[in-house]
Every structure is written in structure tokens, then in C-alpha cells.
Amino acid sequence: MNLKKSRKIFVAMSGGVDSSVSAFLLKEKEYDITGVFIKVWHPEFAECDWKKERDDAMRICAQLNIPFLTFDFEKEYKKEVVDYMIKEYKNGRTPNPDVMCNKNIKFGVFLKKAQEMGADMIATGHYARLKTTQINADKKPQINADDMMYKLYAGIDKEKDQSYFLWALNQEQLSKTLFPIGDLEKSEVRKIAKENNLVTAEKKDSQGVCFIGKIQMKEFLKNFVSEKKGDVLNERGEVIGHHEGAFFYTIGQRHGFTITKKKPDEKPYYIISKNISDNALTVREGDEKESSLYNSNKVEIEKINWISGEKPSENKKYLGRIRYRQPLQNCFVKYNDKKTFVIFEEKQKAVALGQSVVLYDREGCLGGGVIEKIL
């Protein structure tokens, strides 16, 4: 995407190497850059390094000689991301808070505030790419006033590709966005940081959900959802153990519950289903392969977003995934009675309500939806 040198760009600075190199690359192109650290909500009971992350972001901005700002979005983050996640877990679903963070925070309130302060665009350190194509505005007036269609593509680095978390973005958001490192491998990003002596060059990547800190999801949720002891069942419906509340667990999980009726030579158990109304978990012993953990090849999705504004065709084979970094799976889209279904050629492992299904046409991310029913 060719931009005028006078373009003012606000870069979301997390304090990590990816956003640091993103800012560096844009600075090298002589754009008017401002670094912004986004302060989000975090629980008082969990260790959080946000002050250190902010300091690292500030140091990078000082090193690049660009302005540095802090945007406080604690209130918005708590409502749109944290409360959403807790509600979903209470209802026995498996939410994806990163999708909500991108949609409502980074490309929502951050983009809005950046524009209010005079920014033409924002940039983030996501491993994803954008391409534009000219369209006929007379035929598609809902797209963009500049007659451009914005298409989202997977990042070049397949291990780091983050397009899965960006499926809920729309044309307006993408038209104001840059992904400076989407065409780079992670190793290249590290190399650029080291060659230019960026202070975050050797910094390790962050893991997990950012606001939780260094505790497990279950321990986090216990501060908002009361424990409720329930039965662990085998596939014959026999009680063989207990757990602390079905909403704390996810399909495929192998730990966190107690098996009391053990056999000397038994193998580890994993969860194959959960019943929130009965507060019961059903587990299976042994190897996951060819097991009932591969529980479905057809799902109904809601909260749907197609990035181009057009529905995928029913007569075409696509690629899809139900979790980050899952190898892409062959699938089809079907529509019936105003409902949308994604049908995979093979059964998928540990399908759970609340997960995001994201569709691709080769490397192009079409959009997706949230699993509402497993069929």
C-alpha cells in the first residue's frame, strides 16, 4: 500500500519486538509516526508486567525519536473482552478473547481515538497482510468511497500468522490499518531488531491472554465464578471422579479434575464432553487418535463477519480452522433458513461452542463466525 509521506500513523506499541520493528520500518519510510501504549484492564490478584511493557515501549519510542502516548482503555477492555470471556465460560462455552480485543479495542476504540487526534492510519505488529483491489463503486457502494476493496491475507510466517484473530474486522477498519511485518518471517523481524540495536531485540514473545498474567485460566476464573463440585463420568456414565465446576474446563483438557477409581495400568484421561446443566464432565482414557474427541464435522455459526461484505459460495471448496495454528482443513459453506453452516470434509478434534471458525480462500482470509451449534 503506497502512502503519502505526510501520512500520520499511530503505532500500537506493546513493548515487544514485533511492534518495535513495525514502528522502526514505518520510521525508515519517513512517515509521521507516534507510538501508543494501550493500557488494558488487569486483575489486582494477578501479577502483571504492564508497567515494564510500557517502559519498553517508551524506550523504543525514545530510541526512534518519535512521540509516545498512553491510551487508557481499562473500562472498555473490561466490558468488551473480560466480561464477555467470563460470561461465555459461565455458559459452558470456549470464548476467544483475542478476537474481541482486536475488534473492539485495537481496531475499535484505539482506531477511533487515533483518528480523533489527527491520525490518518494505525499500525500494529500483527503477522498478517493486506491487499487492495479496485472495484466498481456503482455496483458495490457499501465498500469504500475510494473504490477500493481491502483483503486480509495470512502472514508470510505460517507459524506466526495471526489472521485467525482478525476475522471480525470490516472494510472501514482495514482501510485505516497497516501491518508492517506481515511480509516478514519472525527470524527476519529479530534480525532487523538486532541489526538496528533495538532494545527489545532479544525480548521473548508474550504467551497467553495478556490481562491474566502468570496464572492459569481456571485460577483466574475462580475469582469470578464460584466452584461447584461435580461428577467425572466415563463413557458408560459411571462416576469415576470429581471436578470443581464444569464451566472451568474445555474439551480435550487432560488435567484439573480428579480420578478416584483408578486401575493399575490406566492411561491419562481427557475430557470429551461437558454438561453444564448437570455440572458433569465425561472423560475417556488413552490415546486421542480415532476417538470420540473428534466429535463433529458440521457446525452452525453466528456473529458472522465476511470481510468483503459478500457471502462465500456454496459451490466452492474453502479452507478453515477452529483454533489458532490448527492446520487448515478442507470445508464448505451451506446456507439454510437464514442459518450458516460450515461443513468440514473430516471430523474436527475437540469442537466447542464459542470457538471461532475462520475461513480462507487459499491465503486470503474471508472472515468467519462463532460456533453456536455442533451438529
- Give me the active site residues, please: 101, 210
CA 170/CA 131 separation, integer angstroms: 14
Nine-digit cell string for 325: 495454528
Amino acid letter for position 201: A
Q: Residue 195: which H helix or E strand, with range?
A: helix 186-195
State the residue for C-alpha cell 473480560: 82
CA 310/CA 308 separation, integer angstroms: 5
Nine-digit cell string for 63: 530510541
- The torsion defined by the Cα of 206, 211, 212 and 213, in degrees rounded to 10, comes to 50
Cβ contact 204:190 at 8 Å: no
Q: Residue 58: which H helix or E strand, with range?
A: helix 50-64
Nine-digit cell string for 319: 479452507
76 phi, psi to nearest 5 deg: -65, -40
CA 272/CA 349 separation, integer angstroms: 10
Task: Kindly provide the residue ranges of all beta strands, DSSP E only, lying in the chain, ordered along the sequence.
Answer: 8-12, 32-39, 68-72, 121-123, 128-134, 148-154, 177-178, 230-233, 239-243, 258-259, 269-275, 280-285, 294-306, 318-321, 329-336, 339-349, 356-361, 364-374
State the residue for C-alpha cell 478453515: 320
User: Any idea what DSSP says for residue 247?
Assistant: G
Closest among 26, 308, 361 to 178, alpha carbons compared: 26
